[in-house]
Amino acid sequence: MIHSLFLVSTAGHIFLEKHWKSVISRSVCDYLFEAQGKASAPENVPPVIATPHHYLISVYRDRIFFVAVIQTEVPPLFVIEFLHRVAETFQDYFGECSEASIKDNVVIVYELLEEMLDNGFPLATEANILKEMIKPPTILRSVVNTITGGRELRSVFAWSVAQGSGSSNVGGTLPTGQLSNIPWRRTGVKYTNNEAYFDVVEEIDAILDKSGTVVFAEIQGVIDACVKLSGMPDLTLSFVNPRLLDDVSFHPCVRFKRWEAERVLSFIPPDGNFRLMSYHVNAQNLVAIPVYVKQNVSFFETGSSGRLDITVGPKQTMGKTIEDVVITVHMPKVVLNANLTTNQGTSTYDPVTKVLVWDIGKLNQQKVPNLKGSLSLQSGAPRPDENPTLNIDLRIQQLAISGLKVNRLNMFGEKYKPFKGVKYVTKAGKFQVRT
């Protein structure tokens, strides 16, 4: 399966390598650099590259290439999914997944990789199990470690040696998560405040054309949970209108049979943060587009200039305010600068990346935000053919745009009364207006 892993920064610096079988020279990454040179942006590097002796499967995340070296047939998605899992684990452990944080925690990174893959085959990828074996770094622990000489080389192997020799040098409990039928939850969880929060987050993916008509729109949602409950609670979450959900995918803890039969989510939750489900709301239902956009971007044939005029206003918001509205426009290469005025928020144009960002903030009914002004083009260059697209970002608190509503949350298996909360948010996903 996975033979080796290289972590490469965008600058082409290989800052970590790990081999599960024999050592493969890091020169194999040259093929990646070659592809990177051809691609206009790091995102455009093909995820699978065939080299004479190996195959490179890479994902690009947080400005790092995670490059897995493969020697034989393996489903590419298997590797890609795993690499993303690695990145998520780093994120979870170090708060961010960056070159600096990985370098700072190189020993933990090595331990994690060793436990996550055994001989190239995924072994323990559940954060819950990993955290039992390898503790995430904390300030307190790093202080303690510097004083006592450190305990970081702690892994299951250390455990085995410790136990085998009868020494009690390594304290704590054994990682039992791997043994249970519910590997995502460890036993003996205890909290003084038992609480369970659920965030219903919906994203609108839409393409609007020049005149503002909807070319394509759909709603994708997720339910993220933060569950801090003692013991082994068994939760049941039901919806007022489960019929809205067209296509769903679940965390492995959800009992699929009950969903099929009763349309309720029944599960023993993992401890802490996790994504309970993601869903898709039937595209046939009309999607309420919360904003309208009027825009006019044009370039003149003479005089190397152009004009830009954008107006945004609220529409179908069900009484809620739209916040954090940001409009991003990738301008054609020939646009040198923009001279714009606005009646709300701020606008900036970066002449290097050719990106115009208009940060509007809250939309209110009375005053409609407007941005207009002129664009100066490179002199002598022909008028650009293409018109830029507008990417819109927004957020509506306390509203799930599809109308999905959680009915109730019941808990079985434990006696205490947990504190429960549900929050709804609507965001713009890939929301584009063509011009």
Partner 1 sequence: MSSSSAFNDEKGGSSSVGEPEYGHDPASGGIFSSDYKRHDDLKEMLDSNKDSLKLEAMKRIVAMIARGKNASDLFPAVVKNVACKNIEVSPPRPSRYRDISQTDPNQLIRASALRVLSSIRVTIIVPIMMLAIKEAASDMSPYVRKTAAHAIPKLYSLDPDQKDQLIEVIEKLLADKTTLVAGSVVMAFEEVCPERIDLIHKNYRKLCNLLIDVEEWGQVVIINMLTRYARTQFLNPNANESLLEEGGEKTFYGSDEEEGKEDKVEAAALVVKRKPYVMDPDHRLLLRNTKPLLQSRNAAVVMAVAQLYFHLAPKAEVGVIAKALVRLMRSHSEVQYVVLQNVATMTIKRRGMFEPYLKSFYIRSTDPTQIKVLKLEVLTNLANETNISTILREFQTYIKSMDKDFVAATIQAIGRCATNIGEVRDTCLNGLVQLLSNRDELVVAESVVVIKKLLQMQPEKHSDIIKHMAKLTDNIQVPMARASILWLIGEYCEHVPKIAPDVLRKMAKSFTNEEDIVKLQILNLAAKLYLTNSKQTKLLTQYVLNLAKYDQNYDIRDRARFIRQLIVPTDKSGALSKYAKKLFLALKPAPVLESPFKDRDHFQLGSLSHLLNAKAGGYQELPDWPESAPDPSVRNVEVPEWTKCSSREKRKEKKVEKPFYSDSEGESGPTESADSGNQSGCVCLSQPVNSSPDSDTGSGSGSGSDSGSEDSGSESGSEESEGESDSEKDEKDKRKSGKKKAKKTAPESEERIYVSFCVALLLKCSFPSPQAASPTCGPLKTYELLHRITGEGLAVTYCFSRRPFTGDPHMVSVQIQFTNNTEVEARSLRVLEPKLQSGMRIAEFPEIDVLPPGEISTVVMGIDFCDSTQAANFQLCTHTKKFFVTIQPPVGELMMPIFMTENEFKKEQGQLMGMNEITEKLTLGEGCRGDHVIIQRVISTANLSRVPCGSAMECRFAGKTVTSGSLVLVTVVTKEERAAQVTVNCEKMLIGTMLVKDILQALSQ
Token duo for residue 80: 């890609």
CA distance 89 to 434: 37
Site for partner 1 in 411-430 (CB under 8 A): 430
Residue type, 199: D
Residue 202 as a binder of partner 1 (CB under 8 A): the answer is: no
Site for partner 1 in 390-409 (CB under 8 A): 391
Looking at beta carbons only, is 203 or 371 nearer to partner 1? 203
Specify the residue for token string 């769903």.
Answer: 248
Angle between helices 76-94 and 106-116 (to 10 degrees): 140
**Cβ of residue 269: shortest distance to partner 1, in angstroms?**
14
The secondary structure of residue 338, as a DSSP letter, is: E
Nearer to partner 1 among residue 146 and residue 366 (C-beta): 146
Check if the beta carbon of residue 126 is closer than 8 Å to that of residue 177.
yes
Among 8, 56, 58, 208, contact with partner 1 (rule: CB under 8 A): 58
Instruction: Count Cβ atoms below 10 Å from residue 189 Cβ, excluding itself.
Output: 17
By CB under 8 A, what part of segment 252-291 binds partner 1? Answer: 252, 256-257, 260, 275, 278, 280, 283
35 binds partner 1 (CB under 8 A): no
Closest C-alpha to 180, from 233, 129, 234: 129
- Kindly state whether residue 31 participates in binding partner 1, applying the rule CB under 8 A: no
Using rule CB under 8 A, residue 11 touches partner 1: no
Buried b (16+ CB within 10 A) or exposed e, 273-305: ebebbbbbbeeeeebbbbbebebebebeeeebb
Count of chain residues binding partner 1 (CB under 8 A): 118
Please name the amino acid found at residue 146: T
Q: Is 249 in the site for partner 1 (CB under 8 A)?
A: yes
Q: Which of 37, 52, 139, 149 binds partner 1 (CB under 8 A)?
A: 149
Torsion angle, alpha carbons of 80, 81, 84, 88, to 10? -170
Which residue of 37, 138, 139, 148 would you call a contact of partner 1, by CB under 8 A?
A: 148
Tokens of 155: 């892994």
Using CA atoms, how far apart are residues 330 and 433, in angstroms rounded to an integer? 12
User: Which stretch in 53-61, 193-201, 342-350, 406-414 sits in contact with partner 1 by CB under 8 A?
Assistant: 53-61
**218 near partner 1, rule: CB under 8 A:** yes
Answer yes or no whether residue 132 interacts with partner 1 by CB under 8 A. no
Query: Distance between CA atoms of 337 and 325, rounded to whole angstroms?
Result: 23
Which residue, 129 or 340, has its beta carbon nearer to partner 1? 129
Question: 333-362 mask for partner 1 (x: CB under 8 A)?
Answer: x-----------------------------
Torsion angle of C-alpha atoms 398, 401, 404, 406, degrees rounded to 10: -10
Query: Which one, of 203, 209, 210, lies nearest residue 281 by Cα?
Result: 203
Cβ-based nearer residue to partner 1, 130 or 411: 130
The HSE-up count of residue 36 (CA atoms within 13 Å, CB side) is: 20
Q: Which of 189, 207, 355, 409 binds partner 1 (CB under 8 A)?
A: 207
Beta-strand ranges (E) seen in 12-54 are 14-19, 48-50
- Contacting residue, 37, 138, 140, 181, with partner 1 by CB under 8 A: 181
Contact between 186 and 271 (Cβ < 8 Å): yes
Residues 75-114 contacting partner 1, CB under 8 A = 75-78, 80-82, 84, 99-100, 103-104, 106-107, 109-111, 114
| Residue 46 binds to partner 1 (criterion: CB under 8 A) | yes
> Is residue 63 at the binding interface for partner 1, with CB under 8 A as the rule?
no
| Options 37, 40, 211, 380; binder of partner 1; rule CB under 8 A | 40
